[in-house]
C-alpha cells in the first residue's frame, strides 16, 4: 500500500518517521512519528499552530518541502474546512473533477446519494447551504474510493445542529467503507465520539496517545466518555473541572 | 429594517409605580411598551415594466430632447440636423448601398482586429499569468508598450504596412491587446489559491488545473477585458479610418466633412453608437451564459 516500492511494505495505511518541516527556519513539525493502521479512525488534536494542519497537508501531498519518511496510500482524498467546491461547476461535475479517464455522471449518483445529496446533483455550489456544500465536498473525496481519508476540521464552519449530522454521516461512511481516516480537529468531544485513537500534538510532535475503546455508537452521557474527554482536555491545558462549571 | 430597541434611559419610566419595587418585573413589563415599527414588505419585483423597455427609455428620452431642440430652432440644420432629417439621410444612404458596404468593411476590420488582438492579448496573459518565468519575460515589455498611445503609431504603421487594410487592422489589434492582457492576467492571478490546492489534492494534472480551475476562474476578468477591448476597437476604428481610408464608415465621414454634410456625419456617428451597443449586447449575453455560477450581487 506504500507508494515507494523500494521500502519494506508495512502493514500501515500511514507510516511516518522522523518527519520534519520548517517554515523559514522555524520548525513546525519536528521528528514526528505516526502509524495509522488500515481502516483505523485517528483523530489529531492540538492547539492552533501546533502543526496538525501542516501534517495533514504533508500526508495529502500538498506540502513536499519535508525531511524524513512519509509513506501514504496512493489513493487518498482530502476534505478541507471550507468545502472548496469550484463555483463554476455544478455539484456532480465537482464530484467528478480530477477522476482519471472519462468518468460518467452515473458514478457520482451513488456517492451523492450516500451523503444524502442526490437531489442536488445539478445545483450550482452558490445555491447550497453550508452543510450541503460540506457534504458535496465529502462526496468528492469519497468518489475516489480512498484508502486514506484526510479530514481537516471539516465540521469547523458548520452550525451546531448541522455539525452533529455531519459527524454522524462521517462515522457511518467510515464504518461502511473501512478506509483509514485522519481527522484533524480541535473539538475534543468530536474526537472521542468518532476516533479509535486520539493523538495530541504539540510543538511539532505527537505528545500523547489515547485509545478510545468505547462501544459504538457512543453517547456523550456515558461516564467513561466524560472521563476520556476530561483527561484529553487536561492534556490540552484546559482544566476540565473549571470548564464544566 | 430591524425592530429598534427602546432608548436605554427614558426620562420617565412608563410604569413608575412598579419599576422601583421589582426591577426585573419592570424590565419585563417595559417590553410591552416598546416603540414597535412595522417591517414593511417590499415586493422583490417592484417594477412590472419589462427590462428591455426600461433599458430603451433612456435613449428614447434623448431622442425626444434632440427633436425638441431642433424643432424649437435651438439647433439649426447645418449645425445638427433633426432626427427626421437624419432618418431620411440614413435611409438614402442605405438605399444607394453606400452605408451597408461601408459598414461591412468597417465591421470586417473590427472583427479581424478583435480576433488578432484577442489571440495576442490572451496568449500573452496566459504565458505571464501561468508561469513565473513568463511573467518575468513578458510583463515588463507589455506594461511599457501599453503606455504608448497607440494612435500615435498610425504614421509608423502606414510606413510599415502601406495604406491598405493592414495598418488599420494593426491599430485595432494593438488597441484591443492591452486591456485584454491586463484583465486576463489579473483574472488568472486572482484565482483563489485554496481552489488550486483543492484541485491538486484531487489529482488534477497541470493542464487539468489550468483547464478546470484557472481558466474558469479568470473568465470574469477576461470578459471585463473583452468589454474594454470592444470599446477601444471602435475608437481605434474611427482613428484608423480617418487616415488614408478609401472605404468604411470613417471614410464616409471624411467625405461628408469635405461636402459640409453634417447630417451624413451624424448618421455615421449613430451607426458607430449602434455598433457599440450591439457589441455590448453580445458581451452581456456571453456574461449571462458563462457566468451564471457567480454568487455576486446583481443589483436590486
For the segment A52-58, the average pLDDT, to the nearest whole number, is 92
Query: How deeply is A157 buried, as exposed, middle or buried, from its count of CB atoms within 10 A (0-12, 13-18, 19+)?
Result: middle
**Shortest alpha-carbon distance between residue B294 and chain A (Å):** 7
- Per CB-CB distance under 8 Å, the chain B contacts of A78 are 198, 201
The tens digit of pLDDT for each residue in B124-179 reads 999 999 999 999 999 999 999 989 888 888 888 888 988 888 999 999 999 999 99
Cβ-defined contact of B212 to A126 (cutoff 8 Å) = no
**Cβ of B199 and A97 within 8 Å?**
yes
Architecture of domain B81-290: Orthogonal Bundle (1.10)
Q: What is the structure's pLDDT at B38?
A: 85
Domain assignment present for A3: no
Residue A18 maps to a domain = yes
How confident is the model at residue A37, as a pLDDT?
A: 94
Can you give the pLDDT at residue B7?
A: 47
Whether residue A163 is contained in a domain is answered as yes
Chain A CB contacts of B287 below 8 Å: none
SS3 readout for chain A:
CCCCCCCCCCCCCEEEEEEEEEECCEEEEEEEEEEECCCCEEEEEECCCCCHHHHHHHHCCCCCCCEEEEECCCCEEEECCCCCCCCCCCHHHHHHCCCCCCCCCHHHHHHHHHCCCHHHCCCCHHHCCHHHHHHHHHHHHHCCCCCEEEEECCCCCCCHHHHHHHHHHHHHHHHHHCCEEEEECCCHHHHHHHCCEEEEEECCEEEEEEECCCCCCCCCCCHHHHHHHHHHHHHCCCCHHHHHC
Q: What are A139-177's pLDDT values in tens digits?
A: 999 999 999 999 999 988 888 899 999 999 999 999 999
pLDDT at res. B123 = 94
> Does residue A228 fall inside a structural domain?
yes
Please report the residues numbered 55 through 94 in chain A whose beta carbons come closer than 8 angstroms to any beta carbon of chain B: 60-62, 77-78, 80, 82, 84, 86-89
B298 contacts on A by Cβ (under 8 Å): none
**pLDDT for the residue B29:** 54
Interatomic CA distance for residues B105 and B118, integer angstroms: 20
Nearest to B293 among A77, A124, A140 (CB): A124
Domains contained in chain A, number? 1
pLDDT(A113) > 90: yes
- Whether B222 and chain A come into contact, CB under 8 Å, resolves to no
Domain with A193 in it: 14-244
Question: Which among B199, B201, B210, B287 is the top mutation candidate for probing chain A, defined by the most A β-carbons within 10 Å of its own β-carbon?
Answer: B201
Residue A32, pLDDT score: 93
Express as a percent the part of chain B with pLDDT over 70: 87
Shortest distance between the Cα of A64 and any Cα of chain B, in A, equals 13
Query: Measured between alpha carbons, how far is A123 from B117 in angstroms, rounded to an integer?
Result: 36
**What are the sequence ranges of the domains in chain B?**
81-290
Q: What is the pLDDT of residues B80-115, one digit of tens each?
A: 888 888 899 999 999 999 899 999 999 999 999 999
Measured between beta carbons, which residues in chain B are less than 8 angstroms from residue A62? 197, 200-201
The percentage of chain B sitting over the pLDDT mark of 90, rounded to a whole number, equals 43
What is the average pLDDT value for chain A, to the nearest integer?
Answer: 89
Assigned domain for A26 exists: yes
Q: What is the pLDDT of residue A157?
A: 81
pLDDT tens column, A118-127? 999 999 999 9
CATH of the domain at A129: 3.40.50.300
- Which pLDDT belongs to residue A224? 92
For the stretch B260-271, pLDDT in tens is 888 899 899 888
Structure confidence at residue B2 as a pLDDT band (50, 70, 90)? very low
Is B197's CB within 8 Å of A62's CB?
Answer: yes
Q: What is the DSSP letter of B164?
A: S
Are B198 and A80 a contacting pair at CB < 8 A?
yes
What's the pLDDT at B4? 47
User: How far apart, in whole angstroms, are the C-alpha atoms of residue A123 and residue A239?
Assistant: 46
Environment class of residue B135 by beta-carbon count within 10 Å: exposed (0-12), middle (13-18) or buried (19+)?
A: middle
Residue A4: other Cβ atoms inside 10 A = 11
Q: How far is A91 from chain B (nearest CA, A)?
A: 11
| Chain B, nearest residue to A78 by Cα | B201
User: What's residue B45's pLDDT?
Assistant: 59
Note whether residue A7 is domain-resident.
no
Nearest residue of A to residue B200, measured between CA atoms = A62
Q: What is the pLDDT of residues B272-288, one digit of tens each?
A: 888 888 888 899 899 99
For residue A73, what pLDDT is reported?
Answer: 93
How much is the pLDDT for B76? 82
Q: Is B213 on the interface with A (CB under 8 A)?
A: yes
How far is it, in rounded angstroms, from Cα A81 to Cα B31?
42
B133/A contact by beta carbon, under 8 A: no
Q: With an 8 Å Cβ cutoff, are B201 and A62 in contact?
A: yes
Question: What integer pLDDT is reported at residue A47 of this predicted model?
Answer: 87
Q: pLDDT band at residue B37, thresholds of 50, 70 and 90? A: confident
Amino acid at each position: 500500500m506504500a507508494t515507494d516500492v523500494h521500502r519494506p511494505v508495512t502493514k500501515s495505511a500511514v507510516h511516518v518517521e522522523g518527519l520534519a518541516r520548517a517554515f523559514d527556519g522555524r520548525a513546525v513539525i519536528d521528528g514526528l512519528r505516526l502509524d495509522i493502521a488500515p481502516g483505523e479512525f485517528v483523530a489529531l488534536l492540538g492547539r492552533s499552530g501546533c502543526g496538525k494542519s501542516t501534517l495533514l497537508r504533508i500526508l495529502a501531498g500538498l506540502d513536499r518541502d519535508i525531511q524524513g519518511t512519509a509513506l501514504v496510500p496512493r489513493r487518498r482524498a482530502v476534505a478541507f474546512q471550507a468545502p472548496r467546491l469550484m463555483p463554476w461547476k455544478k455539484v456532480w461535475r465537482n464530484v467528478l473533477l480530477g477522476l482519471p479517464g472519462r468518468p460518467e455522471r452515473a458514478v457520482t449518483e451513488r456517492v451523492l446519494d450516500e451523503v444524502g445529496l442526490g437531489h442536488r446533483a445539478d445545483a450550482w455550489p452558490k445555491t447550497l447551504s453550508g452543510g450541503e456544500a460540506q457534504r458535496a465536498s465529502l462526496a468528492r473525496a469519497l468518489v475516489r474510493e480512498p484508502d486514506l481519508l484526510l479530514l481537516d476540521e471539516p465540521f469547523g464552519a458548520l452550525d451546531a445542529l448541522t455539525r452533529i449530522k455531519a459527524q454522524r454521516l462521517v462515522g457511518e461512511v467510515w464504518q461502511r467503507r473501512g478506509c483509514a481516516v485522519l481527522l484533524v480537529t480541535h473539538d475534543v468531544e468530536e474526537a472521542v465520539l468518532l476516533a479509535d485513537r486520539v493523538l495530541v500534538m504539540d510543538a511539532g510532535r505527537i505528545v500523547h496517545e489515547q485509545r478510545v475503546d468505547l462501544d459504538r455508537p457512543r453517547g456523550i452521557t456515558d461516564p467513561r466518555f466524560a472521563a476520556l474527554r476530561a483527561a484529553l482536555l487536561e492534556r490540552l491545558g484546559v482544566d476540565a473541572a473549571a470548564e464544566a462549571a | 429594517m430591524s425592530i429598534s430597541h427602546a432608548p436605554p434611559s427614558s426620562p420617565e419610566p412608563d410604569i413608575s409605580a412598579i419599576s422601583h419595587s421589582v426591577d426585573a418585573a419592570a424590565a419585563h413589563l417595559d417590553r410591552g411598551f416598546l416603540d414597535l415599527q412595522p417591517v414593511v414588505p417590499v415586493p422583490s419585483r417592484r417594477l412590472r415594466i419589462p427590462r428591455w423597455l426600461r433599458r430603451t427609455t433612456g435613449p428614447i428620452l434623448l431622442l425626444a430632447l434632440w427633436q425638441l431642440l431642433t424643432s424649437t430652432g435651438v439647433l439649426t440644420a447645418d449645425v445638427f440636423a433633426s432626427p427626421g432629417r437624419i432618418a431620411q439621410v440614413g435611409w438614402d444612404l442605405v438605399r444607394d448601398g453606400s452605408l451597408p458596404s461601408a459598414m461591412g468593411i468597417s465591421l470586417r476590420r473590427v472583427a479581424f482586429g478583435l480576433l488578432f488582438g484577442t489571440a495576442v492579448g490572451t496568449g500573452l496573459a496566459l504565458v505571464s499569468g501561468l508561469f513565473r518565468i513568463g511573467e518575468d519575460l513578458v510583463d515588463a515589455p507589455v506594461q511599457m508598450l501599453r503606455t504608448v498611445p497607440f494612435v500615435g503609431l498610425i504614421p509608423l504603421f502606414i510606413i510599415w504596412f502601406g495604406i491598405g487594410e493592414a495598418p488599420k487592422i494593426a491599430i485595432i489589434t494593438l488597441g484591443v491587446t492591452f486591456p485584454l492582457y491586463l484583465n486576463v492576467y489579473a483574472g488568472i492571478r486572482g484565482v483563489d489559491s485554496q481552489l488550486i490546492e483543492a484541485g491538486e489534492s484531487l489529482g488534477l494534472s497541470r493542464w487539468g488545473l489550468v483547464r478546470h480551475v484557472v481558466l474558469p476562474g479568470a473568465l470574469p476578468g477576461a470578459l471585463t477585458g473583452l468589454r474594454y477591448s470592444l470599446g477601444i476597437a471602435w475608437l481605434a476604428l474611427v482613428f484608423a479610418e480617418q487616415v488614408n481610408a478609401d472605404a468604411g464608415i470613417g471614410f464616409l465621414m471624411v467625405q461628408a466633412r469635405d461636402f459640409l454634410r453634417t447630417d451624413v456625419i451624424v448618421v455615421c456617428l449613430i451607426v458607430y453608437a449602434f455598433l457599440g451597443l450591439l457589441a455590448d449586447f453580445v458581451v452581456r449575453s456571453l456574461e449571462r451564459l458563462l457566468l451564471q455560477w457567480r454568487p455576486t450581487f446583481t443589483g436590486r
